[in-house]
Amino acid sequence: MEYRQLGASGLNVSVLSFGTATFGGSGEFFKAWGSTQVEEATRLVDLCLEAGINLFDTADVYSQGLSEEILGKAIAGKRDQLLISTKATFTFGKGPNNQGSSRFHLLKQVEGSLKRLNTDYIDIFHMHGFDGVTPVEETLRTLDDLVQCGKIRYLAASNFSGWHLMKSLAISEKYGWNRYVAHQVYYALTNRDYEWELMPLGIDQKVGAIVWSPLAAGLLGGKYKRNHPKPTDTRTAQGGSPVPSAVVDDELLYNVVDVLEEIAAETGKTIAQVAINWLVQRPTVSSIIIGARNEKQLKENFEAIGWNLTTEQVKRLDKASEVPPIYPYWHQRQNLTLNPPPKFY
């Protein structure tokens, strides 16, 4: 297992981390992800630890707290061997203050997560999304207080736009508060928008990327191929995809899968393993969240690391997945001496 520094922090995280949104299966959306219970969850956690994975990701809204509860039971007696990442911001429970990044909601959710996880502290705490209503200062002061009292150790954002993240970093610097050291982002061969602004920001501000849905909600798992009927037994087909179908172009998907198939044959790896390995080599990426409904899937994901695609293979995948950038990025690319892109090779 490879370990990487998480952004501007001193924390080292495994390049693969384990996502527990498949734990619980409460509600139609998360039921499509999986319904792993405590016994199997414990086995999956043990397999991850044996493979060297030290970061486990969850959120309060995953099965309305059940994912956290199951993870807490699965790690009993092993807390000092691993890092826990959880999140808050989205709707949880009832009442007028049941969402957002206000002091009221965050304090309530942190206490709830600690109880459900059966732990005294959270290693990495994410704002699951940006709250454009609550003052940023209120959110960041609350998070800094939680770090100061030891309930949280590191702060991270998730699904922020560039200005959301940069404004937050600037305010933290202004007041000397703890800053976001990581940004959990959607990044896959089918959707490389992260590279346009968030990746350059991550490089400049030393914010590490923790990638969610590296296989585009299973579209890059090997079941979706040109001239083949779309499968009906996948999370996407069952309505559990966190990636809207409208943002993944079918022709682009099949162009990418065509090249993934070629490279899989060249390397002796699976399509999914090649797609994840491509991400491992991208700038700013600290860790990639993998999920699994069973041991077989998990062990297959382990094989995505420990080797590297060649530069020529990476370039072929880059070409197959390239799309015209939106404004102002296409305009900025007219002069690459003023706006040099991240160094991929």
Query: Annotated active-site positions, please?
Result: 62
The closest of 76, 71, 69, 103 to 88, measured between CA atoms, is 103
List the one residue out of 44, 50, 43 whose CA is nearest residue 18: 44
Task: For residue 38, give the H/E element and its range.
Answer: helix 38-51
Q: Which two tokens stand for residue 82?
A: 């691993």
Contacts of 237 (CB under 8 A, 6+ apart): 230, 231
Contact 127, 158 (CB under 8 A): yes
**What is the token pair recorded at 174?**
């202004």
Strand positions, DSSP E, the chain: 3-5, 12-14, 16-19, 55-57, 83-88, 122-127, 152-158, 180-186, 208-212, 285-290
Q: Are 17 and 276 in contact, with CB atoms under 8 Å apart? A: no
323: CB partners within 8 A, 6+ apart: 192, 249, 252
Cβ atoms within 10 Å of 37's Cβ, excluding its own: 14
Give yes or no for a contact between 29 and 239, defined as CB atoms under 8 angstroms apart: yes
User: Under a CB-based contact definition with an 8 Å cutoff, are residues 315 and 168 in contact?
Assistant: no
- For residue 203, give the nearest of 284, 285, 282, 286 by alpha carbon: 284
Q: Which of 54, 276, 19 is nearest to 126 (CA)?
A: 19
What is the distance between the alpha carbons of residues 312 and 63, in angstroms, rounded to a whole number? Answer: 42
- What tokens does 90 get? 């989205």
CA distance 321 to 257: 10
What the block records as the tokens of 325 is: 């950038």
